[in-house]
A and B are shown apart, each in its own frame.
Chain A
């Protein structure tokens, strides 16, 4: 296969290199077949599927509560958001209204996972550009969120905290205090991120005007999440189709119009601030009540098609369930934001240097297990 591609694109001046499946900057097992002319990238062909586990096929054989542990393992950096998407789909299909407490807690934990995910993205992006120290600062602060998760949910990376009908267990009594402490700490540390990387002249030069994509193109390519908002595409599902508590809290949809790597970077940094704002509005007012509603032991969705959009840390994550009335879905489709965002990489990185390809793929924040499913 490689030979075939090589033959078609290897002209006298161009040559191909394989970036991946094992490559330090692809954060997993994604393979880019890059054809280069000197150091200029002429064509990028991504090859996916190195960790294709067939989650959609597996889901057709298991019940709805069991799906949760598989969605955890898709976008493992913001696992909670994926779970909430599936739970929301099932709950909306059954027309069960969640108690306010569940909505509050889900929103808070979703925002915390968004921060954690952006932190990890920040440090990995810094590392892609060669600033190794970023990696440790990001992980250091992410650890604090993981500790909060662990205390309440029992899991650090993969929490399996949601279930159709609410939450697996109530939050830990320390939860509120710890979240407040974290926000206080993180408000102090986040400016350090800016000093270390954002303001740095080398970083600015590396990121500015690299991987430009216009708003129209971004919409056409389906770029969502911070990658789309960096181009000015107002695609935040939290605003456009509110779920949980997002309709009732006050937050800004971060939009930049530059459409380059720096804009996508800034969107994520600003989103961390916005997430903290959302959490602060909710954390003190978690209403008392049940943490879950009583569900039937075997959940069966009525026949029909159910579609739910949520905003994951990387973009729009959609769950599409076709039910035939059984206890397991007839067909379930997860719209992975990463896979769609990857579509644009060829257009973005054309005629840039190979070092820019690394920066661009870093700025799209690709999580390969979510892409491959």
Chain B
């Protein structure tokens, strides 16, 4: 499907989605509560068939936290970007897409580890790279470490 067709299709599925044309991919912004449902339909419907999660990225936008999902269809070879944000920085929570794409398991653990976004229904959400007793989430913009991070 081309980007235009995808745009139409997504607007039909979720009218509240904000769609921005990126350089190559469409970026679909949806509220975190609706993301899972949209992802599920996108994966399961025959003409989109987004069965391959390329990349899952967590971002700290200073005021809110965001998660990007780069998904691709191995059958049709079209890609799309899903984006969601949560304003709650203390208890940020997004639905896990592990049940759709198993490759999300480590991606989500990594995001939880470094950005502190919790994923609901993740089977094994614990720290990925850092120690279990580490305090804070290093990729957040307000993370301070006076010993190891040298500001220039």
* The one of B51, B55, B103 that contacts A320, using a Cβ cutoff of 8 Å: B55
Interface centre among A1, A219, A330 (most CB of B within 10 A): A219
Interface residue stretch chosen among A70-78, A233-241, A355-363: A233-241
A52's nearest neighbour on chain B, judged by CB, is B129
Interface centre among B68, B127, B132 (most CB of A within 10 A): B68
A contact set with B: CB distance below 8 Å = 1, 48-49, 52, 54, 56-57, 61, 92-93, 217, 219-223, 233-235, 240, 304-307, 309, 316, 318, 320, 322, 330-331, 333, 335, 339-340, 342-344, 372-373
In the bound assembly, the distance between CA atoms of A54 and B107 in angstroms comes to 15
In the bound assembly, the distance between CA atoms of A56 and B140 in angstroms comes to 11
B133's nearest neighbour on chain A, judged by CB, is A1
B contact set with A: CB distance below 8 Å = 22-25, 27, 51-55, 57, 59-60, 68, 70, 74, 77, 81, 101-103, 105-107, 110, 114, 127-130, 132, 138-139, 149, 151-152
Whether A220 contacts B101 by the Cβ 8 Å rule is yes
Whether A49 contacts B23 by the Cβ 8 Å rule is no
B21 → chain A closest CB, angstroms: 11
In the bound assembly, the distance between CA atoms of A304 and B21 in angstroms comes to 11
Whether A49 contacts B130 by the Cβ 8 Å rule is yes
Given that A220-B51, A306-B23, A333-B55 are known contacts, is A48 also in contact with B103, CB under 8 Å in the complex? no
Enumerate 27 A-B pairs (CB-CB under 8 Å) in ascending A order: A49-B127, A49-B128, A52-B130, A56-B114, A57-B114, A61-B152, A217-B102, A219-B52, A219-B74, A220-B51, A221-B102, A222-B53, A222-B101, A233-B74, A234-B74, A305-B27, A307-B81, A309-B54, A318-B54, A318-B70, A320-B57, A320-B70, A331-B59, A335-B70, A340-B107, A342-B106, A344-B102
Whether A340 contacts B106 by the Cβ 8 Å rule is yes
Given that A305-B27, A320-B70, A331-B59 are known contacts, is A343 also in contact with B130, CB under 8 Å in the complex? no
In the bound assembly, the distance between CA atoms of A340 and B54 in angstroms comes to 9
Whether A307 contacts B103 by the Cβ 8 Å rule is no
* The one of A307, A309, A343 that contacts B102, using a Cβ cutoff of 8 Å: A343
Taking CB atoms, residues of chain B closer than 8 Å to A306 are 23
Whether B138 contacts A54 by the Cβ 8 Å rule is yes
Chain B interface main SS type: loop
Whether A343 contacts B106 by the Cβ 8 Å rule is yes
Taking CB atoms, residues of chain A closer than 8 Å to B22 are 304-305, 307
In the bound assembly, the distance between CA atoms of A233 and B52 in angstroms comes to 10
Interface centre among B24, B52, B139, B152 (most CB of A within 10 A): B52
Taking CB atoms, residues of chain A closer than 8 Å to B52 are 219, 222, 235
* The one of B59, B102, B103, B151 that contacts A322, using a Cβ cutoff of 8 Å: B59
Q: Give 19 A-B pairs besides A56-B139, A222-B101 with Cβ atoms closer than 8 angstroms.
A: A1-B132, A49-B127, A52-B130, A57-B114, A61-B152, A93-B23, A219-B52, A222-B52, A235-B74, A240-B77, A307-B25, A307-B70, A316-B54, A335-B70, A339-B110, A340-B103, A343-B102, A343-B106, A373-B129
Chain A interface main SS type: mixed
Whether B57 contacts A222 by the Cβ 8 Å rule is no
Whether B74 contacts A220 by the Cβ 8 Å rule is no
In the bound assembly, the distance between CA atoms of A200 and B55 in angstroms comes to 38
Given that A234-B74, A307-B81 are known contacts, is A320 also in contact with B110, CB under 8 Å in the complex? no
A332's nearest neighbour on chain B, judged by CB, is B57
Whether B129 contacts A331 by the Cβ 8 Å rule is no
B24's nearest neighbour on chain A, judged by CB, is A307
* The one of B27, B55, B138, B139 that contacts A318, using a Cβ cutoff of 8 Å: B55
In the bound assembly, the distance between CA atoms of A240 and B78 in angstroms comes to 10
In the bound assembly, the distance between CA atoms of A305 and B138 in angstroms comes to 21
Taking CB atoms, residues of chain A closer than 8 Å to B152 are 61
